[in-house]
Amino acid sequence: MSRLWTPDDDRLLRSLYEAGETMRAIASRLGRTPDAVDAHRRALGIPHRGRPMRPWAASEDAFLVAATKAGVPASEIGRRLGRTSDAVRRRREICGITRPRHRPYTPDDDALLRAGLRAGLTWSELASRLGRTGGALRLRAQKLDLIDPAPRRRWTRAEDDLLRFGYRSGWSGAGIHARLLPERTASAICARARSLGLAVYGRRWSPDEDRRLGELVRRGMSTNLIAADLHRSREAVIRRCNEQGLDRPPLVAGRRRKNHRGWTAREDEQLRESPDVDTQTLARMLGRSESAVRRRRKAMLVAGTSRSQHHTDLVRAEHATPAQIRQIAKAMPITPTRLIALSERLQLPYPAIRRVIRQVEANGRRITASR
């Protein structure tokens, strides 16, 4: 369960963050995780101290395109441009630059890799010589049986018992890592929980979490910040607010959630009196969206348009669209059971479907050709 933040914690967080301390050091001082500290920093309105992103120049984009086509890894491109690998990958996605297929290893590459490992070179040095990433070279070395993968430490029975206790207590993976298993990462804890058959979703809410949720909702925090503070998903926060009778928090702090404008009796009457008017025209007349008009028509069991400017001579059945006529023609011959199913699916009365059947039988060739 999340420990509540005190005014002393807030003052310490603000002073340490403004002093330039790292997030990990601040979390260690406060006895919390870095994610919780960063989420509370945003909740307090403390501005991010990171420097703004440097815009990309045309020469940098040209170099990025050429280097990507040449197969240069993102880490090397970032080093030459003075940017991070993530910034290079994001720029590739924005510009639509696709990476070429991975360059296959040649016998000379394998020989250089063996010689470098015998000489004691580091992975970064090997990556610089071979023009590949250190992770790719490590995987290649494992495939060639040049190195043995580092064995993973097995989970003990005591660790499994602590993990089960943490999940029964309603703690998240990060909470179990901080309280019970500091030598294991949060991702490793979640992976072990899945292998043990423990629920990784739907954790029960503790009374402290419910109190914290109510406090954050009353403060007007957004759903994302509440989810980060409580180590929950946005859907879990919204569902718990509904269960507790709390107001649904906005997606963005300080912005109220818009309520849909209710339909008036005059608008409903206009929909009933306009069965032949297309949805787009009705939406423009009523000041609504087309999807709203379609949903309201369906709720009122109002049929759609009965005439079409493309098939005016084929549409003779009242309250049936060309698409409905094609569906009925496709389902022929119509049995009593099929007639009931079509009436429910197409929202058409039985007499209208029978009229369509007679029309299809009379003009079957023309309707079939128009499909």
Domain boundaries of the chain, sorted by first residue: 7-43, 58-95, 107-143, 157-195, 207-244, 263-302, 305-371
Q: Is 177 helix (H, G, I), strand (E, B) or coil?
A: helix
Give dist(CA 339, CA 353) in Å, integer.
8
Give dist(CA 148, CA 39) in Å, integer.
40
Give dist(CA 315, CA 324) in Å, integer.
10
C-alpha dihedral sign at 159, 164, 165, 166: positive
Tell me the DSSP string of 73-94: -HHHHHHHHT--HHHHHHHHHH
pLDDT the model gives residue 303:
41
Give dist(CA 64, CA 99) in Å, integer.
11
Query: With a cut of 50, which residues of the chain have pLDDT below it?
Result: 302-317, 365-371
pLDDT the model gives residue 201:
54
Give dist(CA 91, CA 95) in Å, integer.
6
pLDDT the model gives residue 53:
66
Give dist(CA 173, CA 315) in Å, integer.
62
pLDDT the model gives residue 330:
82
pLDDT one-digit tens code per residue, 178-211: 888 988 888 888 888 888 877 655 667 878 888 9
pLDDT the model gives residue 253:
57
Give dist(CA 240, CA 210) in Å, integer.
8
Q: Which residues of 34-52 are buried (b: 16+ CB within 10 A; e: fewer)?
A: eebbbbbbbbeeeeeeeee
pLDDT the model gives residue 310:
43
Calculate what percentage of the chain has a pLDDT beyond 70: 86
pLDDT the model gives residue 52:
58
Q: Which amino acid makes up residue 229?
A: D
Give dist(CA 282, CA 290) in Å, integer.
8
